[in-house]
Amino acid sequence: MSRNEERIADVSGDALSEVFEVQMGPQHPATHGVLKLNLVLDGETVLSCKPDVGYLHRGIEKLSENLTYSQSMPLTDRLDYMSAIANNTGYCLAVETLLGIEAPLRAKYLRTMICEMSRIASHLLWIATHALDIGAMTVFLYAFRERELILEMFEELCGARLTPSYPRIGGVRQDVTREFMDRLEKFIAEFPSRLEEYETLIDTNRIWLKRTKGIGIIPAEQAIGLGLTGASLRGSGVDYDIRKHRPYDAYPYVDFEVPIGISGDVYDRYRCRMEEFRQSVRIIRQCMEQLPPGPIIADDAPDLVMELKPPRKVMAGSTGPSPLKTALIRLVEDRQAYMEGDVYVSTEVPKGELGFYFVSDGRGMPYRMHIRSPSYIHIGALGVICEGELVADIIANIGSLDVVLGECDR
Amino acid sequence: MVIEILLTILLIVVVFSVIMLHVAYATYFERKVIGHMQVRMGPMRVGPHGLLQPIADGIKLFFKEDVFPETADKPTFYAAPIICLVAALTSIAVIPFWEGMAISDINIGLLFILAMSSLAGWGVVLAGWASNSKYAFLGGLRASAQIISYEIAMGLSIVGVMMMAGSLNMSEIVKAQAQSPFGIYAIPQVLGFFVFLVAMLAETNRTPFDMPECESELVAGYCTEYAGFRFALFFLGEYVGMIVMASVGTICFLGGWTGPFEVPFFPIIWFMLKVYFLIFFFYWVRATLPRYRYDQIMALGWKVLIPLALGNVILTGIMKTFVWH
Amino acid sequence: MIIQYKKKRGWLGTVFLVEILKGMGLTLRRMLSRSVTRQYPEERPEIRIGFRGQHALARDPVTGGSRCVACMRCAVVCPSRCIHIEYKKDEQTGVREVQSYAIEALRCIYCGYCEEVCPVNAVILTEVYEYAAYKRDAFYFDEEQLLKNWDRFIEESRYDPTKYVNPFWRPRGIDERTLAGPRRRSVPDDWKMENQWVGTGMTKSRKTGARCDVGGH
């Protein structure tokens, strides 16, 4: 019997104990937006924890059915707004696969570089809120100090800080400037020392260790079963990173390592993400060194104003050849070829595996778009790992799974 | 006789206003210190460098709507913040600010302060219970457990001081301290001082022991349902409690009003500086440390601090019997 | 790569609270260092060119009106459909005349697509970011208001209206020949494709050729 089960058995055997229901959220300072948890407590012990999502539902999947492929792209900014560019890139890669376009090499490098910057920005917000939830509020502001630098660079590159919409189907919008690269170089030279500051405050701190070690343990098998991805999965010791195992953009050309945890507790997930900061810096540095000359957008990239065509046939549930094959039948009549078929492309965003699934009927809009958002799946795991732990551990678990409700509810 | 009573009342009024001014500026000081530790500036808008911020806050809280939850237990709900503040303020009465300058220099001063700080805990428990809110209830429960266990650690940590000084009267403690070889008890009583510092943080519900009101779990803990001036009373109570605890620390371990040299006309200066330092310590810890979990606080209190304090008592006894005599 | 834990703290470290004191040392050091915050209304952030802020219609120095030719590209591409244009078509010449041009700023998601597709550099998201108002009506920008927004932008910024180029009108690093005529404006040198920033080192794992087989999939 695990420690958590023991705790539950302990309290449920007590005839005098009375259970206590608490609705934690959606207006709660530590539930990262509008997450609501229906808790059944016995004193401080959590008997059951049922996440209740949907408070931030904006219907992005449905909206995109009435928008052209390029019009839906700014909507993906609003999924995981901590790392909007990573979502944009994932979306563009999926549409590129559907339309059979390939971005030029320079664009790939730029995307990789910017995605890693947004990974740093997202992880900074994660460490900030995770530490704040556990009570170390200074880390929060130190992390925001660095995040500000990244956001300012985004602003310089594409005119917006939070919702950049930087990549385009078939490339990227803007080339980098000299000033931008200088700032980036300065940033990545300085950033590792800033990381050490956070670690000085929390890494070996006895309170931090007590709050995170042995809390929210997810064994590797259970993690796979729950469908966890990203650092939450790697913390449990599963070596799975799409950047490494199904590389896209410029990831095959750069050297980096995937940090893997050992015990799968909150502390290991924390260590994994801290290590990912360093690997991201490494990737950015290599991208800067290798950045090749050339165009930044493919010649056959579609125009932003995509024309619509009458639908040919509805492909959902079709029994044709394999889905990927149908996706790659290219219509040759015109340049703006809209594929018929379905396609699933996944990328490694800071939160985990973000997948876009399109069913296309060839009219220029997706017949159906489905987003496999890591946060939604991670929140599902929350209920499982919180059972039998204490109220304070829920907070540590939410932080360590790194969920963002904009992506979960879509 | 009448003149004596009038003088005492005057003294109470003076001390009360000075303490309230200190409380107001303790909030300002806290925001500034923590702000600068977090590479930001703290309040900057109201007055030059935000100097009038505490006054603006006070006015704002005073004029805010007094929200009363429908299902709350009305008399208890109203009484709880008053108990908190009164208990904290009453403790001030026995603190000697300098030689002979205390509103009431009673012989059981230390015991009185311990009793009063327990009473403040009672106010917190009542607030949590009377609000009829689940978060407040959990906060109240945590508060009761925490305050009871840390009360013991704190009491035991001061026992060493009592033994060395041979008195519970605070002025006597300071005088005995001044004659001791180091001038302050923090050096011979280093263990006791450490336990006292930790218990002091826990007693006043400050980070890393701010379980009863930790905002990331329980929203605002026991004062979740309070608004406006009733919330301000809790706030005042907490800050007066901090000043009391810092004063007790100063008197018992840091030598009270004595200093390396005499300051003419302003004998309170050393006392104030020491209290300020301890209050700064509160803020400093808050800016640096994460928060313990509830059961870990209990474990720390019962398994580490109380044995340490007991050991300190035994050690002091042995030293007192065989070495210093 | 298996993650590395920091060295376990020894009993000396436990007794003397070494790691806590280190943390407190850091916060004390930071207290004495300069703060990084900006005192906003007095100290203003530096807004970089291409920031997507308040909407405007560029005022044509020749006609004094907007340059819009009612091609409807912006209205069509807008993901939130917040641009409303009415025009009249001259039957003989086929020339369109703009009757009204309006942007609902409260619907806008500031993606910048409109300025990107505009063939004549008419619509623009300016660098003005302070335009709060008390009424929702104030955010329904009609043509006149949009032109006024442009005037305000020019007044507040350092740009010469005849030479101003927005990086969405003429994207950096794009071959000029692929752009519509009016968008080929003279730009700073490092915006040109020939002068693009190129990495210095060509390290080992890079294969030859611009195209490679490991793309999207």
DSSP chain C: -BPPPPPPP-HHHHHTTHHHHHHHHHHHHHHHSPP----TTTSPP-PPTT---SEEEPBPTTTSSB------HHHHH-TT--EEEEEEE-TTT--EEEEEEEEETTT-----HHHHH-TTS-EEE-S------SSGGGGEE-HHHHHHHHHHHHHHSS--TTT---TTTS-TT--GGGS-GGG-----GGGSGGG----S---TTPPSSS--S-S--
Contact C197 A181 (CB under 8 A): yes
- Across the interface, do B284 and C33 touch by the CB < 8 Å criterion? no
CB C90 within 8 A of CB C96: yes
What is the residue extent of each domain of chain B?
63-322
Mean pLDDT by 10 residues, chain B (325 residues): 85 86 88 88 85 88 83 84 88 81 80 85 83 82 82 86 83 81 77 88 81 69 80 86 88 80 76 88 88 85 88 86 72
Question: B291 and A202 in contact by Cβ < 8 A?
Answer: no
Segment A207-247, tens digit of pLDDT: 888 888 888 888 888 888 888 888 888 888 888 888 888 88
Test the A interface: residue of C9, C22, C197 with most A CBs within 10 Å: C197
What DSSP letter does each residue of A118-159 carry, written as one string? HHHHHHHHHHHHHHHHHT-HHHHHHHHHHHHHHHHHHHHHHS
pLDDT value, residue A3: 58
**How far does chain A reach from its first CA to its final CA, in angstroms?**
38
Residue C208 has pLDDT above 50, yes or no: no
Predicted confidence band at A333 (pLDDT cuts at 50, 70, 90)? very low
Whole-number Å distance between alpha carbons of A251 and B180:
70
Residue from A101, A103, A92 nearest A69 by CA: A92
Alpha carbon distance C191, C193 (integer Å): 6
pLDDT number for residue A120: 92
The pLDDT confidence band at residue A10, using thresholds 50, 70 and 90, is low
Distances (CA, A) of B302 to B145, B293, C77: 11, 14, 67
User: pLDDT band at A408, cuts 50/70/90?
Assistant: confident
**C55-157: which CATH architecture?**
2-Layer Sandwich (3.30)
pLDDT digits (tens, 9 = 90+) for B281-308: 888 888 888 888 888 888 888 888 888 8
From A2-6, A26-30, C15-19, C135-139, the region with the lowest mean pLDDT: A2-6
Judging contacts by C-beta atoms under 8 Å, the chain A residues touching residue B133 are none
- The pLDDT of A322-331, averaged and rounded, is 42
pLDDT value, residue A11 = 57
pLDDT at A326: 43
* Phi then psi dihedrals of residue A344, to 5 deg: -125, 125
Domain with CATH 3.30.70.3270 in chain C: 55-157
Question: For position A12, what pLDDT does the model report?
Answer: 56
- Output the pLDDT for position B50: 84
Does the pLDDT value for residue A15 go beyond 60?
no
B136-186: per-residue pLDDT in tens? 888 888 888 888 888 888 888 888 888 888 888 888 888 888 787 777 777
Residue A330's pLDDT is what? Answer: 39
> Is the sign of the CA dihedral C198, C204, C209, C214 positive or negative?
negative
pLDDT recorded at residue B216: 66
Q: So what's the pLDDT on residue C211?
A: 39
Question: Residue A393: its chain B contacts at CB < 8 A?
Answer: 293
The whole-chain average pLDDT of chain A stands at 82
Strand A352-361 to strand A366-372: parallel, antiparallel, or no bridges (unpaired)?
A: antiparallel
Chain C residues with CB inside 8 Å of B36's CB?
30-32, 35
Report CB contact under 8 Å: B288, C30.
no
**Which tokens go with A384?**
């499982």
Beta-carbon separation of A305 and C73 below 8 A: yes
Given a cut of 70, is residue A339 above it in pLDDT?
no
pLDDT of residue A324: 45
Contacts of B33 in chain C (CB under 8 A): 31
* Angle made by CA atoms B217, B223, B224, in degrees to the nearest 5: 55
Strands ordered across the beta sheet of C140-141 = C83-89, C96-104, C140-141
φ, ψ for residue C110 (rounded to 5)? 55, 45
Torsion angles phi and psi, residue A229, rounded to 5 = -140, 180
The tokens of A58 are what? 């904006």
In tens, the pLDDT along C106-156 reads 889 888 888 888 888 888 888 888 888 898 888 888 888 888 888 888 888
Q: Answer yes or no: do B284 and C23 touch at CB < 8 A.
A: no
Residues belonging to chain A? 410
Chains adjacent to A (≥3 CB pairs closer than 8 angstroms): B, C
Rounded CA-CA distance B285/B81 in Å is 26
Instruction: Tell me which residue in C47, C51, C171 faces A174 most closely, judged by beta carbons.
Output: C171
Q: What is the mean pLDDT of residues A94-112?
A: 87
Residue given tokens 């026992």 in the structure block? B159
Rounded-to-10 torsion of CA A154, A157, A159, A163: -40
Q: Give the whole-angstrom CA distance, residue B113 versus residue B107.
A: 12
- Which residue in the block uniquely carries the two structure tokens 């390290």? C203
In total, the C-beta contacts within 8 angstroms joining chain B to chain C are 36
Any idea which of A124-138, B51-65, C59-73, C170-184 has the lowest mean pLDDT?
C170-184
What's the Rg (C-alpha) of chain A?
Answer: 22
A140, A151, A263, A304: which to substitute to probe chain C, counting the most C Cβ within 10 Å? Answer: A304
Please give the average per-residue pLDDT across A93-103, as a whole number.
Answer: 85
- B: neighbours with 3+ CB pairs under 8 Å? A, C
Average pLDDT, chain C: 80
Query: Can you say whether residue A20 is alpha, beta or left, with left for phi > 0 and alpha for psi between -120 and 50 degrees?
Result: beta
Please give the Cα distance from B186 to B163 (Å, whole number): 14
Q: Classify strands C123-125 and C55-57 as parallel, antiparallel or unpaired.
A: antiparallel
pLDDT, tens only, A364-405 = 788 888 998 888 898 888 888 888 888 888 888 888 888 888
Indicate whether A331 pLDDT > 80. no
The structure tokens listed for B60 are 């704002």
What pLDDT is stored for residue A196 in this prediction? 87
The single-letter code of the amino acid at C184 is: R
Please choose, from the candidates A210, A4, A45, A134, the residue with its C-alpha nearest in 3D space to the C-alpha of residue B141: A45
Query: Mutual orientation of helices A84-99 and A69-77 as an angle, nearest 10°?
Result: 160
Report C:124-153 residues touching A (Cβ under 8 A). Answer: 125
Please tell me if residue B293 touches chain A, with a CB cutoff of 8 Å. Answer: yes
State the Cα–Cα distance between residues A23 and B215, nearest whole angstrom. 16
- Inter-chain touch C201–A176, beta carbons under 8 Å: no
**pTM score > 0.95 for this model?**
no
Q: What is the pLDDT of residues C55-88, one digit of tens each?
A: 888 888 788 888 888 888 888 888 888 888 888 8
Confidence of residue A337 (pLDDT cuts 50, 70, 90): low
Q: Please report which confidence band the pLDDT of residue A8 belongs to, taking 50, 70 and 90 as the band edges.
A: low
Asked if C30 and B44 come within 8 Å (Cβ–Cβ), the reply is no
Q: Do B294 and A392 touch (CB under 8 A)?
A: yes
